[in-house]
Amino acid sequence: MAFYPQERLALFIDGPNLYNAAKALGFDIDYKRLLQLFQGKGRLIRALYYTALAEDQDYSPIRPLVDWLDYNGFTMVTKPMKEYTDNMGRRRFRGSMDIELAVDMLELAPHLDHVVLFSGDGDFRRLVESVQRRGVRVSVVSTIRTQPPMISDELRRQADTFVELQELAAHIARQGVERREPQGAPPMPTPAEPDRA
pLDDT tens-digit readout, 20-33:
999 999 999 999 99
Q: Determine how β-strand 8-14 pairs with β-strand 161-164.
A: unpaired
- Cβ-based neighbours of 59, under 8 Å, separated by 6 or more: none
| Residue 15 main-chain phi, psi, to 5 deg | -50, -55
Does the pLDDT at position 182 exceed 70?
Answer: no
Query: Cα separation of 62 and 54, whole Å?
Result: 9
Does the pLDDT at position 110 exceed 80?
Answer: yes
Orientation of helix 125-133 relative to helix 98-108, angle to 10°: 10
The answer to whether the pTM exceeds 0.85 is no
The pLDDT value recorded for residue 195 is 41
Q: What percent of the chain clears pLDDT 90, i.e. is strictly above it? A: 70
pLDDT, mean over the chain:
87
Q: Is 40 exposed, middle or buried (0-12, 13-18, 19+ CB in 10 A)?
A: exposed
Report the number of secondary-structure helices (H) and strands (E) in the chain.
Answer: 7, 8
pLDDT tens-digit readout, 66-107:
999 999 999 999 988 877 677 877 766 667 899 999 999 999
Query: Cα separation of 134 and 112, whole Å?
Result: 10
* 140-148 contact pairs (CB < 8 A, 24+): 140/116, 141/18, 141/116, 141/117, 141/165, 141/168, 142/17, 142/21, 142/118, 143/21, 143/24, 143/25, 145/25, 145/182, 146/21, 146/24, 146/25, 146/182, 146/183, 146/184, 146/185, 147/184, 147/185, 148/185
Q: Are the beta carbons of 81 and 55 closer than 8 angstroms?
A: yes
Q: Is 41 exposed, middle or buried (0-12, 13-18, 19+ CB in 10 A)?
A: middle
Rg, the chain, Cα only:
16
